[in-house]
Homo-oligomer: A and B are copies of this chain.
Amino acid sequence: MINKLIEKIKATNAPIVVGLDPMLSYVPEHVQKKAFAEYGETLEGAAEAIWQFNKAIVDATCDLIPAVKPQVAMYEQFGVPGMAAYEKTVSYCQEKGLVVIGDIKRGDIGSTSEAYAVGHLGHVQVGSRSYAGFHEDFATVNPYLGSDGVKPFIKVCKEEKKGLFILVKTSNPSSGEFQDRLIDGRPLYEWVGEQVAAWGEEHMGDSYSYIGAVVGATYPKMGKVLRSIMPKSYILVPGYGAQGGQGKDLVHFFNEDGLGAIVNSSRGIIAAYKQEKYASFGAENFADASRQAVVDMVTDIRTALENA
């Protein structure tokens, strides 16, 4: 799957991923109204609203982008119907040829991580048959429990040709509270990064590993160090746009081959119509505003890479 992701990045010339994190407040009123008219102001109604919202954005952007990253929390908040909308979104994006990175940040002890891995990336056995519950192509994983929490994910990725992005340095303001603490003179995130690199070297696609890392755009200097620690790992970079990261902050996340990083924007794309810059599209044409925001983001990153 890492090979497919890289092929798609090359084909679109767009090292970006659209974060499908549909807060209900991002969904234009006319979309909400229609969903509520059919299902009422219920969890099912909310699930329908976010699904229709996603579908329109995917339809408007899928030719420009290699991948999407649905954030499962935004679906999980709507209970079981929300999880059904998540699965439907994953399926639809895959039908459209997009690589789907499930932003699930799971991680647990061995047998439990195995269940998560099976549910999200693999197949679960039911009697004589097997099923893929949520069937994302990649998943994000939390490393706090150490290697026996991560290895079951790696095992399933190997069997199913899927991939991981392991949290190394997250984009949020307080990520440093534990991740930046010094251990033998070096921050925890570097130790985690080294472990990711070691896992990565053992699990290679053609040119990059299918064991990648998450490093926030909001910490470009750390990104530069982590890039050199994990030369063969793809870096998923959240925090662009709404969280404050800009194209020029991103150049050090890439390798000299122009590859090695994929930059996520969520709110900045899916709620673009709410920004002054794209207000002229109007709420009715929210998906067109998202398309324009994708074009602008790709231009920003390409320009930064060309000038680097």
Chain A residues at the B interface, C-beta cutoff of 8 Å: 21, 23-24, 32, 36, 41-43, 45-46, 71, 73-74, 76-80, 82-84, 87, 105-113, 115-116, 118-120, 124-129, 131-134, 142-149, 167, 170-179, 181-184, 188, 191-192, 195, 238
Bound: A181/B116 CA distance, A: 26
Q: Mind listing 22 A-B residue pairs with CB under 8 Å?
A: A32-B127, A36-B127, A41-B127, A41-B128, A42-B126, A43-B126, A45-B127, A73-B106, A73-B108, A73-B113, A74-B115, A80-B80, A80-B83, A80-B87, A107-B142, A142-B142, A145-B174, A145-B175, A146-B178, A178-B192, A181-B191, A183-B183
**Chain B residue with minimal CB distance to A135?**
B79
Q: Which residues of B contact A116 (CB under 8 A)?
A: 73, 76-77
Other A-B contacts than A43-B124, A43-B126, A73-B116, 19 sampled, CB-CB below 8 A, are A36-B127, A41-B127, A41-B129, A42-B131, A43-B131, A71-B112, A73-B108, A78-B119, A78-B133, A80-B84, A82-B119, A105-B108, A145-B175, A146-B174, A146-B179, A147-B177, A148-B173, A149-B174, A178-B191
Count the copies: 2
Q: Give min CB distance, A174 to chain B, whole Å.
A: 3
Q: Which residues of B contact A178 (CB under 8 A)?
A: 143-144, 146, 188, 191-192
Partner of A110 from the list B172, B182, B183, B191 (CB cut-off 8 Å) is: B172
Partner of A145 from the list B79, B170, B183 (CB cut-off 8 Å) is: B170
Check A79 against B146 for contact (C-beta < 8 Å).
Answer: no
Q: Give min CB distance, A71 to chain B, whole Å.
A: 6
Partner of A144 from the list B132, B173, B179, B191 (CB cut-off 8 Å) is: B179
Check A77 against B183 for contact (C-beta < 8 Å).
Answer: no
Q: Which residues of B contact A36 (CB under 8 A)?
A: 127
Bound: A195/B74 CA distance, A: 27
Q: Which residues of B contact A167 (CB under 8 A)?
A: 144-145
Q: Which residues of B contact A87 (CB under 8 A)?
A: 79-80
Bound: A193/B108 CA distance, A: 19
Q: Which residues of B contact A177 (CB under 8 A)?
A: 146-147, 195
Check A144 against B147 for contact (C-beta < 8 Å).
Answer: no
Most buried by B among A45, A84, A109, A173: A109
Bound: A182/B125 CA distance, A: 41
Q: Give min CB distance, A229 to chain B, whole Å.
A: 15
Q: Which residues of B contact A124 (CB under 8 A)?
A: 43, 46, 77-79
Partner of A133 from the list B80, B111, B145, B146 (CB cut-off 8 Å) is: B80
**Chain B residue with minimal CB distance to A45?**
B126
Bound: A83/B172 CA distance, A: 29
Q: Give min CB distance, A84 to chain B, whole Å.
A: 5
Partner of A146 from the list B71, B77, B107, B175 (CB cut-off 8 Å) is: B175
Q: Give min CB distance, A78 to chain B, whole Å.
A: 6
